[in-house]
Structure 1
Amino acid sequence: MGSSDHEDDRRDGEGEGGSSIEQIFESKEVPSWAGQLTLRAFAVSLGLGFLFGFIVMKLNLTTGIIPSLNVAAGLLGFFFVKSWTTVLSKIGFSSKPFTRQENTVIQTCVVASSGISFSSGYASYILGMTKKVAAQSDAGNTPINTKTLSLGWMIGFVLVVSFVGLFSILPLRRIMILQYKLTYPSGTATAYLINSFHTPKGAKLAKKQVASLFKWFSVSFVWAFFQWFFTAADGCGFASFPTFGLQAFKYNFYFDFSSTYVGVGMICPYIINLSMLLGSVISWGIMWPLIEKKQGVWYTAGGMRGLQGYKVFVAIAMILGDGLYHFVAVFAKTSISLIKNLRENRDGSRTDPLSLENDNLSYDDKRRIKYFTQDQIPMSVALGGYAFLAIISIIIVPHIFTQLKWYHILVIYLVAPILAFCNSYGCGLTDWSLASNYGKIAIFVFGSWVGMEKGGVVAGLAACGVMMSIVSTASDLMQDFKTGYLTLASPRSMFCSQVIGTLMGCIISPVVFWVFFYKAYPTLGEPGSSFPAPFGLLYRGIALIGTEGTSALPKHCLEIALGFLLLAVSLNLLRDMLCHFKISAHKYVPSAMAMAIPFYLGGYFTIDMCVGSLIRFIWEKKDKKKAEAFVPAMASGLICGDSIWGLPAAVLSLAKVKPPICMKFLSRSANAKVDGFLGG
């Protein structure tokens, strides 16, 4: 999900009282690029990388909705280093001043590390290869189309593919940041926050925000701990509370008391949460009960050839429709903007943005350009690094996934730089990364190329992983360059912190997934479990369509799916048309991607998120300024506390320690039967 702080980017050139940001910081020395890479920064980044990696993994394995955690990363980085320097000064040791450049390094490193939890696909394409997920669909459940997970090859794969994307876009950083002046809204908003933290007024506010974060962290952690006592078996505890009655509970409409998703709802835009609620009502409130009545007419089997097939493929259709529209729209917008920029450069109508003698440049611009251009990364490093890492990947990946051949990987690495540029450029314009869409295209292309008989399902999913890793890390790096440009952090320090953060993530992510989820929760990936990992089955469904076609779908499933694909395209088209004609109703057009997620999972988490939206709405009505300052901190605390309880809960599960109580809710007739049985 994109950041909800994009409105701040309009203020990136202003400080307190509307003055220039760089004039406020003029008296502060800017450290050298090596001086920005401190040991304490990486120590803090490692701890926060583990925390955020765990949070992102948990969110991936439950609903797949991941809010922007940049604010929390910047806030916590600020807090821990400030605490570090304060403690050292009290015991008589002096320490280097904490600068906004060092804060930027921490934020970059943490986000790069936790980003691997998403791009490494443990909740999507990797999980889609497993026998457990394959067993949920009849088609493609063969040895060559499945792969047994092990920690060794998972770490090896993510190490081999995650660094290549960093070199693919490196030579274009000056063009995209300085010449084309791309906005990168998330990167700009993050820079604004970091700059504000390090002004005298901003530092005081940051301390209050951190206090709020830790307060709600404690509340959330204690609440999660309390709930654990009542979950002795499946279907027990507050997470199975039939808030709206047992019939609504049967169709996944209930409030499950998850502070994680209340927090996520506070960060996500209102339209996203309401779109998911609408999707829940359409699917679980109307469609699935009606289709259930067609059992024996439209379908007779279970699994993917039954009701499950409708749930999975209608969700896939909406996701593909939404992704296809954004792919075309962003590509068109990118092409138009690129042609315009090239024409201006050729005609000489654009003043050289790199010239510090340019009178059109503000003081802030001149100072930022000076620091952004003084620490260059040689072209030979970018090209040589990409070629070297690509060769290693071409050699190693076919040994991990025997269904892929070396020439398949070669084709990916020949095409990937173009797609990485398109994604980075489009992300700079719209803040919309299409990495997962490029991955889905790779599933279709390489899955059909290899074919079902030769393991096309695994080949397509593995190719998706290679492509996603390149395209995703490339756009993330350019976002970080934009943040560094606005905080005077050196491009070299940004690149180094991205590399180190990626390395941390390549170790943290597979270990967290393997130890705390895959081994601790045997039902992971199964519908109705604590961690259903919906995207594992959805990605496998895409691979099955790519290799086998639609012959395995239940009756009328294809027609319904196509209808919802067209609905997704139509909603996006309607929103863009309303935006183009400046009609304010565009704010109320539902998001197709958000609507699709509950089609498979149900509405329980959407209730949580709407509660979060309601809290934010009431707070904004009472005190909008205070809400803007403290909603992200409160939300981050709720997410962190509940998610971190997952660590001791996983350890208890591994140690075979079970909760002592089962709190379960029964209907009156079921309760009478239980009483009769116990009485007998």
Structure 2
Amino acid sequence: MASPSPQGRSFTVRGVAAGLGVGTVICSANMYFGLQTGWVSIMSMPASLMGFAVFKLLKPHLQFPFTPVENVLVQSVAGGMAIMPLGCGFVGVIPAMNYLLGTDEQGPLSLSMWQLIIWSIGLCYFGVVFAVPLRHQVIIRERLRFPSGFSTAVLIRVLHGRGQGSSAQELDAAAKGGFASLADRDDDDPLLVNETSSNVADEEPELSKDVDWAYNMKLLLLSFLVSGIFTICNYFLPILRDLPIFGTVAASTWLWTLNPSLAYVGQGIIMGTETTLHMTLGAVVGWGILSPLAKKKGWAPGPVDDWENGSKGWIVWVSLAIMLVDAVVSLAYVALRPILATHAPRALTVLRERFQQSRIAALFGRSHQYSPIPHGEEDQDEPAILDDDQASIASNEDAGLDDGPAEQQVSTRIVTWGLLASVLLCILTTRIVFGDLVPLYAVVTAVLMALVLSIMGVRALGETDLNPVSGISKLAQLFFALIIPQSHKSSVLINLVAGAISEAGALQAGDLMQDLKTGHLLGAAPKAQFWGQIIGATCGALFSAFAYRIYTAVYEIPGKLFQVPTAYVWIFTARLVTGQGLPYMAKEWATGAGVLFALTTLARTLSVGTRWRSLIPGGIAVAVGMYNVPSFTLARAIGGIFSWYWLSVRKRSTTPLIIIASGFILGEGFLSIVNLWLQALKVPHY
């Protein structure tokens, strides 16, 4: 059943242009932070806010209104562009190939600029196309919440002057509502073209909104500038990146320093108190307990900051085990729950009936009871009647689904041919870049596996707001270790490529599904979002390839500033699953950590909605705290604690907190380009 569309144009050239501009800023930030710590975010809420800011400033010059559905387009284009540094492997897999592959592993593998572009273009489409059929299942039929997508829809609604008085119950109902459930089709859009109202009563709320708007924009600009200026100061005073707050011995020997980066404080605000404290727990266990223990016992005899022989590399194996079991348990639950929910009650009913009809049950019942004799014809007809009823119910459900008009949907023909073309493009480009080093059957298998794992990733994201792409890539690496002989000369390289393809598909399908949820709630045309995401993904792939080449040409990678920890996680996982030995005693500690966090992950999965769930450490958060040096984790913890103080103690609004955090992140991420040029020009510094 199609619902009427809200007012406004869903696809405009100006919306695409604004989305590309916003996406460039976020993509730059993601490349910078990704190479430092592996952290990449689609940042849909900041993208929506910046898109609205652009058109708010241009309001006197607009020829037609800027509406919520066009705001969704801006966010979709920006989101498609923003995730490409991770989706194309530039913060993990590519550095691992370039710098960490050994000569006996067909490395190091140096890819030219054109090879990077070809590789990026090959990876950037099939996840986007595959998200379209998944949308019908998880958004239209099952109506999964997708918390970030829902929050972005609420933000856009408020930015455009709607829904300020909505209660929590009304918003919660709208989150699982149908097409345009958060849209207001009757009201005029507040961001109009040079229109004045003669109604004084209508002017006062508009004036109030303008005051709030001016305050929020000043807050965003101020936080952006403060963070950006501090970033430039870091170039001239590098000591600011590593403050020895626990003493010089702890800093020089055990790497316990603080990087007072406002961007990482902002990341902590967005991550929330629970996640950042779990990351801090990982840092304490990894760098405060395991690292000194491994050093003292001689398990990691090299310098602490040595990835190969030091405790920095030793504790990565423990974090890898935690990530693997977290992924296996979480994805197994997501995959099996629908099956159990559908078939378990019926299976229990059948077992109960068979038990009641068995001789064993007769021992516990009265001996004079008899079972009725079944009629063969009725038994034969009953399944057919049941199937017809089920088909009728399914047909009625499909007919009653609330979605946009048919002309706004992506046609089946485009999805079919687009998916086929994108899969073939991925296979072809991978073959062009790596040649005979990666067998054709391995690439085909990786793409097909990526599509399957994308389903689990999307479902996990819709239910928990966490896209388990790191776990999905590790599962893909584990799977390929089983089908690629360890004796193959390129086994490690094949493992990296297969994991990268799986991660790309799951990441794109998952994160872009958040955008589709936002558009669904606000009544945006899925077709417009689809093409916006395609445009954003294309530009993001090209921009990321150029940005990566510039960073690697100017900075030492891996180096003190860009440690690329995710690249080490990738290469260590590939070596582990392809049969290379672990450091001494790493196997025992990794196994113990794996068993422990399998239990904690299961407990967290089964305790959703309970108050005490936050007390159970999250596996991924703890693992990230382990493989990142403490300086980044401590800054994020400061942001998480500040978020708790602001929201729980002061009882203040979330909006200014999000604005401040966004300004901090974007300020450092974007103005780091200035530091890039200063480094390229070899401007002297201390």
Q: Is 1:652 paired with 2:678? A: yes
Aligned pair partner of 2:619 in 586, 592, 607: 592
* Higher alpha-carbon deviation: 212-221 or 334-343: 334-343
Aligned pair partner of 2:596 in 538, 549, 567: 567
Local SS of the residue matching 1:519: helix
The Cα offsets for residues 475-510 of structure 1, whole Å up to 9 and x where unpaired, read as: 234332221111110011011111111111111111
Q: CA deviation at 1:453?
A: 4.1
Where does residue 98 of structure 1 map in the other structure?
66
User: Aligned partners of 1:257, 1:450: CA distance in 2, in Å?
Assistant: 46
Where does residue 307 of structure 1 map in the other structure?
311
* Higher alpha-carbon deviation: 176-185 or 346-355: 346-355
Q: CA deviation at 1:599?
A: 2.2
Structural RMSD (CA) = 2.8
Contact 1:120 1:469 in 2 (8 A): yes
Where does residue 444 of structure 1 map in the other structure?
478
Where does residue 184 of structure 1 map in the other structure?
146
* Higher alpha-carbon deviation: 308-317 or 75-84: 308-317
Task: Check 1:52–1:339 CA distance in 2 against 1; reply closer, same or farther (3 A cut).
Answer: farther
Aligned pair partner of 2:659 in 633, 637, 655: 633
Task: Check 1:291–1:438 CA distance in 2 against 1; reply closer, same or farther (3 A cut).
Answer: closer
Q: Is 1:213 paired with 2:220? A: yes
| Structure 2 residue identity aligned to 1:228 | Y
User: Aligned partners of 1:298, 1:83: CA distance in 2, in Å?
Assistant: 57
Aligned pair partner of 1:554 in 583, 587, 599: 583
Q: CA deviation at 1:354?
A: 5.6
Task: Check 1:308–1:220 CA distance in 2 against 1; reply closer, same or farther (3 A cut).
Answer: closer
Structure 2 portions without partners, runs of 5+: 165-208, 347-385
User: Aligned partners of 2:457, 2:240: CA distance in 1, in Å?
Assistant: 42
User: Aligned partners of 1:214, 1:298: CA distance in 2, in Å?
Assistant: 46
* Higher alpha-carbon deviation: 346-355 or 390-399: 346-355
Contact 2:40 2:86 in 1 (8 A): no
Q: Is 1:61 paired with 2:53? A: no
Local SS of the residue matching 2:91: coil
Aligned pair partner of 1:83 in 57, 63, 88: 57
User: Aligned partners of 1:315, 1:387: CA distance in 2, in Å?
Assistant: 37
Q: CA deviation at 1:613?
A: 2.3
Local SS of the residue matching 1:462: helix
Local SS of the residue matching 2:624: helix
Where does residue 293 of structure 2 map in the other structure?
290
Where does residue 447 of structure 2 map in the other structure?
413
User: Aligned partners of 1:446, 1:476: CA distance in 2, in Å?
Assistant: 25
| Structure 2 residue identity aligned to 1:389 | S
Contact 1:74 1:194 in 2 (8 A): yes
Q: CA deviation at 1:337?
A: 5.6
User: Aligned partners of 1:598, 1:507: CA distance in 2, in Å?
Assistant: 31
The Cα offsets for residues 538-573 of structure 1, whole Å up to 9 and x where unpaired, read as: 100111112224x2x222111111111122212212
Q: CA deviation at 1:116?
A: 1.1
Q: CA deviation at 1:338?
A: 6.8
Aligned pair partner of 1:241 in 233, 236, 243: 243
The Cα offsets for residues 177-206 of structure 1, whole Å up to 9 and x where unpaired, read as: 222222222222211211221126865445
Local SS of the residue matching 1:160: helix
Q: How does 1:383-422 map to 2 (within 5 A)?
A: 383-402=416-435, 403-422=437-456
Q: Is 1:256 paired with 2:259? A: yes
Local SS of the residue matching 1:371: coil
Aligned pair partner of 2:498 in 463, 485, 489: 463
Contact 2:516 2:526 in 1 (8 A): yes
Q: Is 1:195 paired with 2:228? A: no
The Cα offsets for residues 291-335 of structure 1, whole Å up to 9 and x where unpaired, read as: 21122x775897535534412211211221222221212222344
Where does residue 539 of structure 1 map in the other structure?
570
Task: Check 1:66–1:506 CA distance in 2 against 1; reply closer, same or farther (3 A cut).
Answer: closer
Contact 2:105 2:489 in 1 (8 A): no
Local SS of the residue matching 1:181: coil
Contact 2:148 2:514 in 1 (8 A): yes
Where does residue 129 of structure 2 map in the other structure?
167
| Structure 1 residue identity aligned to 2:64 | K
Q: Is 1:223 paired with 2:230? A: yes
Q: CA deviation at 1:427?
A: 2.5
Aligned pair partner of 2:23 in 40, 49, 52: 49
User: Aligned partners of 1:566, 1:127: CA distance in 2, in Å?
Assistant: 31
Where does residue 359 of structure 1 map in the other structure?
none
Where does residue 125 of structure 1 map in the other structure?
93
Q: CA deviation at 1:208?
A: 3.1
Instruction: Give TM-score, length-normalised by structure 2.
Output: 0.81
Where does residue 618 of structure 1 map in the other structure?
645
User: Aligned partners of 2:249, 2:660: CA distance in 1, in Å?
Assistant: 33
User: Aligned partners of 1:606, 1:308: CA distance in 2, in Å?
Assistant: 15
| Structure 2 residue identity aligned to 1:653 | Q
User: Aligned partners of 1:500, 1:593: CA distance in 2, in Å?
Assistant: 32
User: Aligned partners of 1:420, 1:375: CA distance in 2, in Å?
Assistant: 24
User: Aligned partners of 1:656, 1:452: CA distance in 2, in Å?
Assistant: 46
| Structure 1 residue identity aligned to 2:70 | E
Aligned pair partner of 2:81 in 97, 113, 137: 113
Q: CA deviation at 1:536?
A: 0.2
The Cα offsets for residues 391-434 of structure 1, whole Å up to 9 and x where unpaired, read as: 23323312211321222222233444333333323332333323
Aligned pair partner of 1:273 in 272, 276, 279: 276
User: Aligned partners of 2:104, 2:627: CA distance in 1, in Å?
Assistant: 24
Where does residue 359 of structure 2 map in the other structure?
none
User: Aligned partners of 2:397, 2:677: CA distance in 1, in Å?
Assistant: 55
Instruction: Give TM-score, length-normalised by structure 1.
Output: 0.81
Q: CA deviation at 1:97?
A: 0.4
Contact 1:191 1:483 in 2 (8 A): yes
Where does residue 4 of structure 1 map in the other structure?
none
Q: CA deviation at 1:68?
A: 5.8
User: Aligned partners of 2:413, 2:446: CA distance in 1, in Å?
Assistant: 22
Q: CA deviation at 1:103?
A: 0.2
Aligned pair partner of 1:502 in 537, 541, 549: 537
| Structure 1 residue identity aligned to 2:602 | L
| Structure 2 residue identity aligned to 1:481 | L
Task: Check 1:163–1:434 CA distance in 2 against 1; reply closer, same or farther (3 A cut).
Answer: same
Task: Check 1:400–1:560 CA distance in 2 against 1; reply closer, same or farther (3 A cut).
Answer: same
Q: How does 1:150-165 map to 2 (within 5 A)?
A: 150-165=112-127
The Cα offsets for residues 142-164 of structure 1, whole Å up to 9 and x where unpaired, read as: 26143113221111111012112
Task: Check 1:377–1:601 CA distance in 2 against 1; reply closer, same or farther (3 A cut).
Answer: closer
Contact 2:279 2:624 in 1 (8 A): yes
Task: Check 1:290–1:391 CA distance in 2 against 1; reply closer, same or farther (3 A cut).
Answer: closer
| Structure 1 residue identity aligned to 2:263 | T
Local SS of the residue matching 1:612: helix
Local SS of the residue matching 2:404: helix
Local SS of the residue matching 1:401: helix
User: Aligned partners of 2:640, 2:396: CA distance in 1, in Å?
Assistant: 45
Q: CA deviation at 1:577?
A: 4.4
Q: CA deviation at 1:635?
A: 0.7
The Cα offsets for residues 632-680 of structure 1, whole Å up to 9 and x where unpaired, read as: 0001111111222210100111112122xx3xxxxxxxxxxxxxxxxxx
Local SS of the residue matching 2:233: helix
Where does residue 320 of structure 1 map in the other structure?
324
User: Aligned partners of 1:473, 1:654: CA distance in 2, in Å?
Assistant: 33
Larger radius of gyration: 2
Task: Check 1:303–1:501 CA distance in 2 against 1; reply closer, same or farther (3 A cut).
Answer: closer
Task: Check 1:196–1:521 CA distance in 2 against 1; reply closer, same or farther (3 A cut).
Answer: same
User: Aligned partners of 1:280, 1:52: CA distance in 2, in Å?
Assistant: 27
User: Aligned partners of 1:185, 1:351: CA distance in 2, in Å?
Assistant: 29
Aligned pair partner of 2:548 in 499, 506, 513: 513
Structure 1 portions without partners, runs of 5+: 1-21, 89-93, 135-139, 232-236, 357-365, 663-680
